[in-house]
Chains A and B, each alone.
Chain A
Amino acid sequence: GAVVSQHPSRVICKSGTSVKIECRSLDFQATTMFWYRQFPKKSLMLMATSNEGSKATYEQGVEKDKFLINHASLTLSTLTVTSAHPEDSSFYICSARVADTQYFGPGTRLTVL
């Protein structure tokens, strides 16, 4: 099956700093990747759709200047949380689509102190 990796798996940072999360498709090329946020025991919230070579499409209510997404190649998308605050602490999960199916990375636990 399609394998998606994320790095780092866990990050702790101070308030006001920026954090970059990488999402890679390991054995396939992904023109479209998705970034989700998940709160404890809650469903997934789609933040944005990342398209290779073009600007990401953000969901309503998601600040594009705070959550910067770059999809510079067919195997890599990055999410940068800028000027992180404690309320940004969450589990961030990326996903890449192969044909009609989305495959997910293992997630990144962000804790902002």
Chain B
Amino acid sequence: AQSVAQPEDQVNVAEGNPLTVKCTYSVSGNPYLFWYVQYPNRGLQFLLKYITGDNLVKGSYGFEAEFNKSQTSFHLKKPSALVSDSALYFCAVRARNAGNNRKLIWGLGTSLAVNP
């Protein structure tokens, strides 16, 4: 069965420090991987995705993520955190050859708090 794990319910980091939000997945075949961010009482905003090609993907707001096939991970990173990055982050995966079953499988979310 397909699944996504975000092992940390909460991540705290000081402003200016690098941040990492972890995501591991289990899916048959090669995956499509996504990161979304959600600010309070708002919908989700697309940050970045891995489809194919370079394992290091760069996205919005200075975020990047690295696809690691051997570790089945897609951790989200940013070199220098901002207070405004504080939000809820979701990782999602879909099997590449999903056919008609193209639903995204979602992690439970990680709450990021960046402290001034």
Taking the complex as formed, is A46 at the interface, i.e. its CB lies under 8 A from any CB of chain B?
A: yes
Given the known inter-chain contacts A42-B109, A44-B90, A100-B51, please indicate yes or no for A49 contacting B43, CB distance below 8 A: no
CB within 8 Å of B: which of A74-113? Answer: 91, 93, 95, 97, 100-107, 109
Count of B interface residues, CB-CB < 8 Å: 22
Segment of B17-25, B34-42, B61-69 engaged in the interface with chain A: B34-42
Residues of A contacting B: mostly = strand
| Size category of the binding interface on chain A | 20 to 34
CB pair A43–B107 under 8 Å, yes or no, is yes
Partner among B46, B90, B103, B106 whose Cβ is within 8 Å of the Cβ of A101: B46
B106–A49 CB distance below 8 A: no
Could you tell me if A100 and B32 are in contact, using CB atoms closer than 8 angstroms?
A: yes
- A106:B42 contact, CB within 8 angstroms: yes
Asked if A1 lies at the interface with its beta carbon under 8 angstroms from chain B, I say yes
Q: Is the CB of B108 within 8 A of A107?
A: no
Q: Which residues of A sit under 8 angstroms from B32, Cβ to Cβ?
A: 100
Contact with B along A14-42 (1 / 0, CB 8 A): 00000000000000000000100000011
A6 interfacial by beta-carbon distance below 8 Å? yes
Do A49 and B103 touch (CB < 8 A)? yes
Q: Is the CB of A43 within 8 A of B109?
A: yes
CB-CB nearest in chain B for A32: B102
Interface string of B77-116 (1 = CB under 8 A from A): 0000000000010100010000000111011110100000
Measured between beta carbons, the chain B residues less than 8 angstroms from A42 are: 108-109
What residues of chain A lie closer than 8 Å to B88, measured between beta carbons?
41
B45 on interface, CB distance cutoff 8 Å: yes
Determine which of A41, A101, A105 lies in contact with B43 in the assembled complex, contact meaning CB atoms within 8 Å: A105
Max chain A Cβ within 10 angstroms of own Cβ: one of B36, B44, B107, B108: B44
Task: Tell whether A109 pairs with B41 under 8 Å between CB atoms, given A1-B46, A46-B103, A102-B104.
Answer: yes
Inside 8 A of A46's CB, which chain B residues have their CB? 103-104
Q: Which residue of B lies closest to A102 (CB)?
A: B104
* A106 shortest CB reach to chain B, Å: 4
